[in-house]
A = this chain, B = another copy of it.
Amino acid sequence: MKPPLEFYFDFSSPYGYIASRKIEALASKQGRSVNWHPVLLGAVFKITGGRPLPDVPLKGEYSKRDIERSARFHGVPFRMPEPFPVSTVAACRAFYAVKDGIGLSGRFSDKSGPDPQFSVTAVELAKALFRAYFVENVNISDAENVAKVAASVGCDVRAALNDQAVKERTKAEVDSAIAKGVFGSPYIVVDGEPFWGIDRFDQIERWLTAPF
Binding site for B on A (CB under 8 A): 44, 47-51, 56-59, 61-62, 65-66, 69-70, 72-73, 178, 181-184, 194-197, 199-200, 202-203, 206, 212
A84 to B205, CA, bound (A): 30
Contact A62 B183 (CB under 8 A): yes
14 pairs of residues in contact across A and B, judged by CB atoms under 8 Å? A44-B58, A48-B56, A56-B183, A57-B183, A58-B178, A58-B181, A58-B182, A58-B183, A59-B196, A62-B194, A62-B196, A69-B212, A72-B212, A73-B202
A70 to B184, CA, bound (A): 18
Contact B183 A73 (CB under 8 A): no
Q: Which residues in B have their C-beta under 8 angstroms from that of A196? A: 59, 62, 66
Q: Which residues in B have their C-beta under 8 angstroms from that of A51? A: 49
CB distance from A119 to the nearest CB of B (A): 27
> Main SS of the interface on chain A?
helix
A119 to B70, CA, bound (A): 33
Q: Which residues in B have their C-beta under 8 angstroms from that of A69? A: 203, 212
Q: Which residues in B have their C-beta under 8 angstroms from that of A195? A: 66
Q: Which residues in B have their C-beta under 8 angstroms from that of A183? A: 56-59, 62
Q: Which residues in B have their C-beta under 8 angstroms from that of A199? A: 197, 199-200
Q: Which of B65, B181, B212 contacts A73 (CB 8 A)?
A: B212
A199 to B202, CA, bound (A): 9
A19 to B96, CA, bound (A): 41
Q: Which residues in B have their C-beta under 8 angstroms from that of A59? A: 48, 50, 183-184, 196
CB distance from A55 to the nearest CB of B (A): 9
A200: nearest chain-B partner, CB-CB: B199
Q: Which residues in B have their C-beta under 8 angstroms from that of A57? A: 47-49, 183
CB distance from A46 to the nearest CB of B (A): 10
CB distance from A10 to the nearest CB of B (A): 14
Q: Which of B47, B65, B194, B197 contacts A194 (CB 8 A)?
A: B65
Q: Which residues in B have their C-beta under 8 angstroms from that of A58? A: 44, 47-48, 178, 181-183
